[in-house]
Structure 1
Amino acid sequence: MRVPPLPASAPATATRPIRPLKACAAMGAMLLALVVLGHDGRRVAQLFALGLPLLAWMLWPVRSRRIHRLRTALLWLGAMAFAFDGVARGYLLEAYQAAPNSALVLASAANTNGREGAEYLSMHWRALVVWAAPLMVAGWVFGRCVRQGARATAPWPPWAIGLLCAALLLAAAAHASKPWRRLHPVVFWTDWAHSVQALRLAWSDQQRARDQALQRAREAAPVATRAGPSTVVLVITDSINRDNLALYGYGRATTPRLLAHQQLLGDDMLVIRNAWSVDASTLPALRSLFNFGVPAGESPQHLLALARTAGYKVWWMSNHDDIAVEQAHARLADVVEMVNRTPGRAGASLDGELLDCLQEALDDSAERKLVVVHLMGAHPHYSLRFPAGENPFDDQVDAVETGLVESGRSSWVRRYRQEYDAALLYHDFVVSETLQLTRQAGRPGDYRAWMYLSDHGQEVGHVSDRAGHSPTTASGYRIPAVIWQDPPDASRAAGAALTPFRADWAGWTIADLLDIQWPGAPPDRNALSAAYRWQAPVLPVEVKSFSE
């Protein structure tokens, strides 16, 4: 590459591309650092190769002031696309050990609206500020560098021309390769947005999938074997870690009412000590529960479809405003009650709003009833999950607070723990009321059963200095599970309270409570059966013992 020399009157220092080369080197170093932030292995080289055209264009001399300004703006935008990509990937890896296109992140994004996103930002702003710092530094560095784009017309050193040609060849090869090209931030995040939108569209109308679930249930021909009226209430809650329940030995009085029920009912109230979810977020956890832990590709049965086919009238009442859950599960019920119309984390509707709905369902004249009560539980924000001003643990210095301090937990995590425990205290009221209403349902002698469990756990300073969903710690999978029956099941397996329990197998246990049977139903996954055989699930986190 050779360009005409400057007029003799031009300063000698302006004839050499030293400043553009230095700026290009600084910009390249920053690009590489950002790529390393979000990628590893050979992808670092692939992403850097995709960014080389930005550096090459920066060194290409231009004469026009207008073109120079346009180039400056476009180079800054292009470089910031790489900066956003690196920071976003780095944050997801640090917080969730997940890639942006993983099922966890795609499902979360598809299931999130603007208001919920704002609430997420308000809860995790500290971590986001930390991760925004490299983005702001990159913006400043790129802004300084791109203004130094080459404008001189002096001959370039041969080594610079060779380096530029090699960079252009490598960049051309990178863009010609489809697997490499997919990684380019502009291409990747455009495809990512399309994937999220496609997932939302797939959720918006799943009538065909529901019809197929009902057809599979009819083909299985399930039969309700218990004669007479039958009422089963299934209470599914959100984000409850059993380690924070006094029912499980926690040091704060978070479950006084459930403890009172346990004292009154004794062994008839089965508190499963070692219950585990196999998913750390709601959507996959509920899919696993209602599909008996069978992968979607194997055309699994759906618990609600089986119950309806066996003659049960099914209710789904929820304090969530969640289109994914509603379409995949709730709409299989005969009666659907969605009391919360504020989407996401910002929903301030308290779970107690469902108690009247439950009473109405229990008063219904249907002989066989399955009522699913889907609670918000302690779904973040914790402060919205209990009535205002009703936090007895606020600024309380007790053994729990002292332990958190000794473990090095930050003040904001300790505050979240106080709010979380206050949410569990209110949650105890709602859950115990659902049990009490179930016990009072029907006529004397009618069969009634009640089961309570959480979709997944929650990390609130248990093993790390953070609060929220946690796929990378055991706290994200530790859940409560409680069962009550009247009359009690005389054939219940001995030691059921201490035997480990998997939430993805809970469908088999609920089918037992419903007393429905169909060909091929394995008894070894029903936690109430003497034939139950525990198999440890494969979790993305090491668990020392599932019996702890």
Structure 2
Amino acid sequence: MHIRFSALQPSPAVAAALLSILLLAGIAAGHEGHRVAQLAVLALPALLCLRFPLKSRCWRICRLLVVSGTMGLFLVDGAVRAFLQAGYRALPDSSLVLAAVANTTPREIAEYVSSQKSGLLVAGLALLLAWVAATWLAAACNRHGAAVGRAGRWAMVLLALVCLVGLASKPWRRHHPLLFWPAWVQSVQALQHSWSDQREQRGALLANAHSAAARITLAAPSTVVLVLTDSVNRDNMSLYGYPRDTTPELQALRQSERDHLLVLRHAWSVEPSTVASLSGIFSFGARDQDDPVRDTHHLLALARAAGYRVWWLSNHDDIAIDQQHARLADFVAMNNREPGRSSSSLDGELLDDLDAALQDKASHKLIVVHLLGAHPHYHLRIPEAMRPFPDAPDAVDAEMLSEQRPAWLRSMRRTYDRAIRYHDSVVAQTLRLARLHAPQHGHAAWMFLSDHGQEVGHDIDHAGHSPGTMAGYRIPTLLWRQGKPFDHELARRPFRADWSGWVLADLMGLSWAGMDRSRNVLDPAYDWQAPQLAISMARYDH
């Protein structure tokens, strides 16, 4: 008995439903949350075009090939992302994956495929079967050319408008496989080209440090911890007088440490973004993010040349930071595998790495801990189970209401404050660990500051990075050291983040040719000079 293949195909309605489910499952395998809906919208045009009646068999074949290819792209995209998430907890455009691919030779690729051949074979067969099924279902939809009814036409118009909105949105559009993967290849190639320049620059910075005869003036063992955070505005810290109790643990430490913990009241960033700010912090304010090395110094290069062992522990995923700063360290741990604002990696995950570094037997240690802090999106910077500051009116709400701030901004401020509260617990623990592992007969110090501030309804109706308001530059800065107490009159001095290197050099006991004591806020010779910001500032001491 002869059975035609077409008889095995389901009806167009059933085929369309099954194809949609298959495609959605493929997308969900590699994406999470709202991203699944965004990718579904981006894939929708391929499904919609199957419903347009075409009489020409040739055009229907062309349409089937296009739809089949498009479905294959989305399925492969989901499969690759699922593989990276399962094996490495990383996204394809994370620095981990980009760096691994950029630094991999064809021989290494062959060796990796050989070592993973069983798993890759099973995954490849599953992907092939999914694509064949998608093509078969698309063919069932494609073989009918019946006209669409009036209600169907209106539904298609509405769905087409949804597709246009998705395609018009750059944050959505860039995740389309047809756009994402060519851009990904370009990122890998750009990284390969930039590495040679960055390696040369790091080599030049180390050479500069040796030429300046960097040395350690402390005879005893020394441990210094630098905690750098992101997007924390001191105006939102109860340590600085904010009405909400956002920093109870740091306040408790200030009470217990008394003269050994210094809170600089008037600290300012000179840059409203991370990469530029870190360039200034580590180059003693002498180098912008895009400037060549010339004769400038880098704090990490000086520390290594003098004899410090350097760690860089990071919850960021940023190739520029990794190449310009982190790779100057002896040991690098990049915990975050999700680039961009959608990263949900929590800062507390770095505490174990810090504890391990502090227990290392090196006599002189510099440990840089780079936190995400309160970087947007704020709700991702705090554990889901942690909900301080219930949704009830308080003094902060009353003040924002009096300033006529909109409801969405008041809600955003509360979320930001919750992130600050969690952040307080992490930062306080870094100090406790530094204190716990301080050398018994040596020197220990800890410094904490933010790269820049954050506007959350302080000056304008805006939430986020803000180069045009003071909130974009207000930062916290705290110093702790073992043994020698601080003169708390120093807390009144204005401080700029791009001079942090001079303070850290003091805490580490570093010395080299060309040191400038006038930029060290702890030195009697300190000579404040106002920075040139993108906003007009009359005073920096309030």
- If the length of structure 2 is used for normalisation, what is the TM-score? 0.64
What residue in structure 2 maps to residue 230 of structure 1?
222
> 1:267/1:221 Cα in 2 relative to 1: closer, same or farther (>3 Å)?
same
Compute the displacement of 1:444 (Å): 2.2
Aligned-partner Cα distance in 2 for 1:435–1:494: 19
Q: Distance between the aligned counterparts of 2:336 and 2:225, measured in 1?
A: 20
- 1:318-337 correspondence to structure 2 within 5 Å: 318-337=314-333
Q: For the residues of structure 2 that align with 1:300 and 1:199, how far apart are their CA atoms?
A: 25
Partner of 1:287: 279
Q: Does structure 1 residue 507 correspond to structure 2 residue 501?
A: yes
* 1:213 aligns to 2:205 (yes or no): yes
Question: Do the aligned residues in 1 keep the contact of 2:376 with 2:464 (CA within 8 Å)?
Answer: yes
Classify 1:538/1:443 alpha carbon distance in 2 versus 1 (closer, same or farther; 3 Å): closer
SS at match of 1:292: coil
Instruction: Tell me the percent identity.
Output: 50
2-structure distance, mates of 1:494, 1:378: 28
Cα distance, 1:360 vs structure 2: 0.3
Match of 2:245 in 1: 253
What amino acid maps onto 1:306 in structure 2? L
For 1:115 and 1:450, the matched residues in 2 are separated by 30
1:436 aligned residue:
432
Output the CA distance in 2 between the equivalents of 1:509 and 1:493: 15
* 1:418 to 2:410 alignment: no
> Which consecutive unaligned segments of at least 5 residues does structure 2 have?
1-90, 96-163, 169-183
How far, CA to CA, are the matches of 1:430 and 1:277 in structure 2? Answer: 22
Say if 2:490 and 2:521, in contact at 8 Å, map to a contact too.
Answer: yes
Q: Within 5 A, what are the aligned runs for 1:95-494?
A: 203-205=194-196, 206-295=198-287, 296-297=291-292, 298-488=294-484
Q: Which entry has the higher C-alpha Rg, 1 or 2?
A: 1
CA contact (8 A) 1:239 1:456 kept: yes
For the residue of structure 2 that corresponds to 1:414, the secondary structure is: helix
Rounded Cα–Cα distance in structure 2 between residues aligned with 1:398 and 1:290: 40
1:261-300 CA-to-partner distances (Å, cap 9, x unmatched) read: 0011112100000000000000000000000000335431
Tell me which amino acid in the other structure corresponds to 2:299: L
Q: 1:449 to 1:253 in 2, by over 3 A?
A: same
CA separation in 2, counterparts of 1:493 and 1:260?
19
Q: How big is the shift at 1:200?
A: 5.7
Q: What are the superposed Cα offsets for residues 193-215 of structure 1, whole Å, 9 maximum, x if unpaired?
A: 9x999976665551111111111
Q: Which residue of 1 aligns with 2:126?
A: none
Q: Is the 8 A contact 1:203 1:328 kept in 2?
A: no
The unaligned stretches of length 5 or more in structure 1 are 1-111, 117-134, 140-192
- Counterpart-to-counterpart distance in 1, 2:466 and 2:272: 6
Q: Specify the alignment match of 2:14 in structure 1.
A: none
Question: Is 1:542 the counterpart of 2:536 in the alignment?
Answer: yes
Task: Name the structure 2 match of 1:82.
Answer: none
Query: CA 1:337–1:114 in 2, change beyond 3 Å: closer, same or farther?
Result: closer
**Would the aligned equivalents of 2:300 and 2:310 in 1 still touch at CA under 8 Å?**
yes
Residue among 513, 518, 541 paired with 1:524: 518
CA spacing shift, 1:344–1:113, aligned 2, 3 Å: farther
Q: Is the 8 A contact 1:203 1:327 kept in 2?
A: no
Compare 214-223 and 297-306 and name the one that shifted more. 297-306
Distance 1:531 1:310 in 2: 24
For residues 94-132 of structure 1, the C-alpha deviation after alignment (integer angstroms, 9 at most, x for no partner) is xxxxxxxxxxxxxxxxxx99899xxxxxxxxxxxxxxxx
Could you tell me which amino acid in structure 1 is paired with residue 279 of structure 2?
R
Query: How much has 1:446 moved relative to structure 2?
Result: 2.2
1:200 and 1:341 mapped to 2: Cα distance? Answer: 17
**Contact 1:113–1:344 (Cα < 8 Å) also in 2:** no
Provide the rounded CA distance (Å) in 1 between the counterparts of 2:377 and 2:537.
27
In 2, Cα distance between equivalents of 1:455 and 1:391: 26
Maintained 8 Å contact 1:394/1:415: no
Q: What amino acid is the match of 1:530?
A: P
CA RMSD of aligned residues (A): 2.6
Q: Secondary structure at the match of 2:354?
A: helix
Alignment partner of 1:449: what SS?
Answer: strand
Partner residue, 1:498: 492
8 Å CA contact 1:204–1:324 kept in 2: the answer is no
The structural deviation recorded for 1:311 is 0.4
Alpha-carbon offset, residue 493 of structure 1: 6.2
Amino acid at match of 2:415: E
Q: Take 1:218 and 1:293, find their aligned partners in 2: how far apart are those partners?
A: 20
Call closer, same or farther: CA 1:319–1:494 in 2, change over 3 Å: closer
CA distance in 2, matches of 1:496, 1:304: 26
User: Alpha-carbon deviation of 1:496?
Assistant: 1.2
Q: 2:490 is paired with a residue of what secondary structure?
A: coil
Q: TM-score, normalised by structure 1?
A: 0.63
Secondary structure of the residue aligned to 1:262 is: helix
Q: Give the residue type in structure 1 aligned to 2:506.
A: D
1:393 positional shift: 2.1
SS of 1:408's equivalent in the other structure is: coil
Counterpart of 2:209 in 1: which secondary structure?
helix
Q: Is the 8 A contact 1:290 1:302 kept in 2?
A: yes
Q: How much has 1:513 moved relative to structure 2?
A: 0.5
Mapped partners of 1:510, 1:275: distance in 2: 15
* Whole-Å separation in 1 of the counterparts to 2:407 and 2:187: 36
Change (3 A) 1:420 1:537: same
Asked whether the 8 Å contact 2:223–2:364 carries over to 1, the reply is: yes
Q: Assess if the C-alpha contact under 8 Å between 1:115 and 1:346 holds in 2.
A: no
Q: CA deviation at 1:385?
A: 0.4
Aligned residues between the structures: 364
**What letter matches 1:368 in structure 2?**
H
464 and 350 in structure 1: CA distance in 2 versus 1, 3 angstrom threshold: same
Match of 1:108 in 2: none
Q: Tell me which amino acid in the other structure corresponds to 1:440.
A: L
Q: CA distance change for structure 1 residues 390 and 281 in 2, over 3 Å: closer, same or farther?
A: same
Aligned counterpart, 1:40: none
Shift of 1:443: 3.9
Q: Is the 8 A contact 2:304 2:310 kept in 1?
A: yes
